[in-house]
Structure 1
Amino acid sequence: MTIEKEKVIAAYQQAKEVFQQHGVDTEKALETLAQTPISIHCWQGDDVKGFENPDRALSGGIQATGNYPGAAKTPDQLRADMEKAFTLIPGKKRVNLHAIYLDSDEDVARDKIEPKHFERWVTWAKANDLGLDFNPSLFSHPNADEGFTLSHPNDDIRQFWIDHVKASRKVSEYFGKELGTPSYMNIWIPDGMKDQPVDRLSPRKRLAASLDEALTEKIDTKYHIDAVESKLFGIGAEAYTVGSNEFYLGYAASRGIALCLDAGHFHPTEMISDKISACSIYIQDMQLHVTRPIRWDSDHIVSFDDETQAIMREIVRNNLLSRMSIGLDFFDASINRIAAWVIGTRNAQKALLKALLEPVEKLKEAEESFDYTSRLALIEESHSLPWNAIWDYHCLQNDTPVGFDWMKDIKEYEANVLATR
């Protein structure tokens, strides 16, 4: 045992005693953290280009900025980059794929994708003990160039996207069957208008009908869970978004499917942390896209900021972990892409751990007795409790670097691998 390990263990033991004084079981918190997977999005590694047609320009409100060298250009490179990131991220993980990340030796139209086009991803997931989640890709395609997909007024184009969603559900079901854990399949569309529309209702009627047709086949939720994701606005859809929050909340609740809340898809002063408990009353399963908007849905790397911590606190305080799929959604091409995964995922995990270490029972007791003074005092005091010593111990337990030590691994990988691309 090195001196560094001894220091980490000693600090943990001291912190454990402090938390015990507040009625918090650090061992239970660590066990919960270790068993709670974070679904890490593949599209950070290649700037959302995918492998269907990597030279196609991004569209549908998707924009990756920056030109940092080393982006993955093949499925094997992307998988290798993610494996490197995994060695620096403690705990359980999942991987979130978009349909454009198929790994096939033939050209495949989006409405014709099949499980066989993702077999290499499943083989890789099995080897790395990963669950897989999925998304149909309703953007960056000629049939999305007019700003509409599932709500398109043209019957043929709309049917193309319906068939794409149907095909995507079969891929998602395949993931669940092969990997023994349900795949969350999230449907997001860029549909909307740049300026004020005359008819806001008809596209929403078409969207509801398209979703109903696409989701007609019943699939066992042991393998596959459908989710829908709202958005306030997008690039080119500033005035009107067909799939608004109200539309998808109603749709998910009335159809009995999951709702995806993206931290960047609301007004700048709206926080998804406040929506979680409200939605949980009407929605059984929820999916989160944890990201960091700056003034708009800019998908910055997840930070250990107030909202990320508030999201995790709401989940833990309300015992919603078993009903929640926690995923990430950011893409930054201005820095090392593997470092982006590591920073964002570790921050999400830190926020979850800090929430698990909160003295919730004492806080609820104070609140229920209308002792708001003690509630505020304890909330503020809990911010200073030595949770970071518990985090370091968690990293040590999972054989991942403690503190900033992971950066030297990133620099070595960049010099030896990324620089050669």
Structure 2
Amino acid sequence: MTITLKTYHLAQEQFAQFGVDTELAISMMEKIPVSIHCWQGDDVAGFEKPDTRLTGGIQATGNYPGKARNATELRADLDQALSLIPGPKRVNLHALYLESNLPVERNQIKPEHFKNWVQWAKKHQLGLDFNPSFFSHPLSEQATLSHSNDTIRQFWIDHGKACRNISAYFGQELGTPSMMNIWIPDGMKDLPVDRLAPRQRLIQSLDNMLSETLDPRYHIDAVESKLFGIGAEAYTVGSNEFYLGYAVSRNTALCLDAGHFHPTEVISDKISAVLPFVDKLLLHVSRPVRWDSDHVVLLDDETQAIASEIVRHQLFDRVHIGLDFFDASINRIAAWVIGTRNMKRALLRALLEPITQLRQLEQDGDFTGRLAWLEEQKSLPWQAVWNMYCERHNVPTDIHWLDEVRQYEKQVLALR
């Protein structure tokens, strides 16, 4: 009997004393995919042009060697990361990760420009999610869907429509709906005089962009708010209140990004606040450090709280978990592995909570007992269950995954 199996059996007995079935928790992990964002692998540059300048208030700081220079390299890097992450996964693409031998304007992109991604996803049994790219483009310098110029605004409407068709193509080909998230960088650096007109234009643009009804078996629209960005410190057109109202009134999914709110706000508390009003929720799990800095996800209190909210309320069919960070100062594959494994660890820990007992204590008004149980269960040997989960998926249980990343760095990344 292996050490992992021995320690797992001991952990299983301890959890059983708290009324927790570890096998049930592990089986539930197979029903909760995490969507891994492709843009960690190349610092959000995309493959439209080799000299694309990142704009829209987005920054990827650092210059760690070996970033992906094309889609083939990016998929190879993702292959390496995916091999070190247990359980079900998806991959999230942006429109600027298309593949074409000839330049293609964003309002002209088609499913054929992503056929290699679909073939790759089929090989790995992955779902794909999608995002229009409303940044890093000459026509996005001032605004996009809220622009006062009709021609520019229509360009971006057409881009969004093209992206919806690509997203639906993903869903049809892969048999799982693609979540397409709409985020725009529109805003102003200094105080605007007219805050209303851009928002009215944004409503009209979104309504136009989403006018075609697409089958939810293949495609789901989501809208994402933001507090501010670099160059949009004073005013953001697509604020939290704006998109919450839009999602509720238009029956779209709502995206909550962990870094898109005030420093003391957390999205874990917002999940139960918005779900009575929207049918589906998309989460961008990230780690803000003083602002929307998109640091690699840690196994910290907020990540755990997000996972606990999903599990405690059985929101597996309503909440779609995506990641959104990009750190160019460390090995990019390691960043994927660290962040995704941490999200999955948090989900497993949440599944190992004695939820029935905790809920009963709360209903009985026994807040002393609730606090005692919440704290004591933190010391239960969840790591042994995690190790068993990893072993069953044939991925490293501990820090040895880093050896494989460093070997890949020597053999592949260092040669770029």
Specify if TM > 0.5: yes
1:220-369 pair list within 5 angstroms: 220-369=215-364
Among candidates 125, 131, 156, match of residue 127 of structure 2: 131
Cα distance in 1 for partners of 2:302, 2:94 equals 26
Among candidates 1, 10, 15, match of residue 11 of structure 2: 15
Does the CA contact (< 8 Å) of 1:172 and 1:185 recur in 2? Answer: yes
Q: Secondary structure at the match of 1:310?
A: helix
1:81 is aligned to 2:43: no
What amino acid does structure 2 have at the position aligned with 1:91? G
Cα distance in 2 for partners of 1:222, 1:198 equals 43
What residue is the counterpart of 2:212 in the other structure? 217
1:90 is aligned to 2:86: yes
Q: Secondary structure at the match of 1:322?
A: coil
The structural deviation recorded for 1:200 is 0.8
What residue is the counterpart of 1:409 in the other structure? 404
The structural deviation recorded for 1:34 is 2.2
1:53 is aligned to 2:55: no
What residue is the counterpart of 2:137 in the other structure? 141
RMSD (CA atoms): 0.7
The structural deviation recorded for 1:155 is 0.4
* Structure 1 unaligned residues grouped into runs of 5+: none
The structural deviation recorded for 1:340 is 0.3
The structural deviation recorded for 1:24 is 1.0
Cα distance in 2 for partners of 1:15, 1:78 equals 39
What amino acid does structure 1 have at the position aligned with 2:355? V
Among candidates 96, 99, 104, match of residue 100 of structure 1: 96
Q: Secondary structure at the match of 1:67?
A: coil
Does the CA contact (< 8 Å) of 1:103 and 1:121 recur in 2? Answer: no
Does the CA contact (< 8 Å) of 1:265 and 1:297 recur in 2? Answer: yes
1:199 is aligned to 2:218: no
1:163 is aligned to 2:158: yes
Cα distance in 2 for partners of 1:195, 1:275 equals 29
What amino acid does structure 1 have at the position aligned with 2:178? S
1:63 is aligned to 2:59: yes
Among candidates 164, 175, 178, match of residue 170 of structure 2: 175
What amino acid does structure 1 have at the position aligned with 2:157? I
Cα distance in 1 for partners of 2:260, 2:334 equals 24
1:24 is aligned to 2:23: no
What amino acid does structure 1 have at the position aligned with 2:167? S
Cα distance in 2 for partners of 1:236, 1:131 equals 34
What's the TM-score, normalizing by structure 2? 0.99
Partner deviation per Cα, 1:189-208 (whole Å, 9 max, x = no partner): 00000111111111111101
Q: Secondary structure at the match of 2:275?
A: helix
Partner deviation per Cα, 1:303-322 (whole Å, 9 max, x = no partner): 00100000000111111111
Q: Secondary structure at the match of 1:289?
A: strand
Partner deviation per Cα, 1:110-162 (whole Å, 9 max, x = no partner): 0000000100100000011110000000000000111x100000000000000
Q: Post-superposition, which runs of at least 4 consecutive aligned residues in structure 1 deviate over 6 A?
A: none
Cα distance in 1 for partners of 2:27, 2:194 equals 52
Cα distance in 2 for partners of 1:103, 1:121 equals 9
The structural deviation recorded for 1:56 is 1.5
Cα distance in 2 for partners of 1:301, 1:73 equals 21
What amino acid does structure 1 have at the position aligned with 2:82? F
* Structure 2 unaligned residues grouped into runs of 5+: none
What's the TM-score, normalizing by structure 1? 0.98
Does the CA contact (< 8 Å) of 1:252 and 1:283 recur in 2? Answer: yes
The structural deviation recorded for 1:324 is 1.1
What amino acid does structure 2 have at the position aligned with 1:319? Q
What residue is the counterpart of 2:38 in the other structure? 42
Q: Secondary structure at the match of 1:281?
A: coil
Cα distance in 2 for partners of 1:53, 1:283 equals 38
Cα distance in 1 for partners of 2:50, 2:161 equals 23
What amino acid does structure 2 have at the position aligned with 1:208? I
What residue is the counterpart of 1:33 in the other structure? 29
Cα distance in 1 for partners of 2:206, 2:128 equals 23
Does the CA contact (< 8 Å) of 1:193 and 1:237 recur in 2? Answer: yes
Cα distance in 1 for partners of 2:78, 2:370 equals 42
Partner deviation per Cα, 1:342-386 (whole Å, 9 max, x = no partner): 000000000010001111110110000100000000011111111
Does the CA contact (< 8 Å) of 1:289 and 1:326 recur in 2? Answer: yes
Among candidates 374, 394, 398, match of residue 379 of structure 1: 374
Equivalent residue pairs, number: 416
What amino acid does structure 2 have at the position aligned with 1:30? I
Decide which moves more: 16-25 or 108-117: 16-25
Does the CA contact (< 8 Å) of 1:112 and 1:164 recur in 2? Answer: yes
Cα distance in 1 for partners of 2:246, 2:209 equals 14
Cα distance in 2 for partners of 1:39, 1:89 equals 12
Cα distance in 1 for partners of 2:279, 2:23 equals 28
Cα distance in 1 for partners of 2:264, 2:116 equals 42
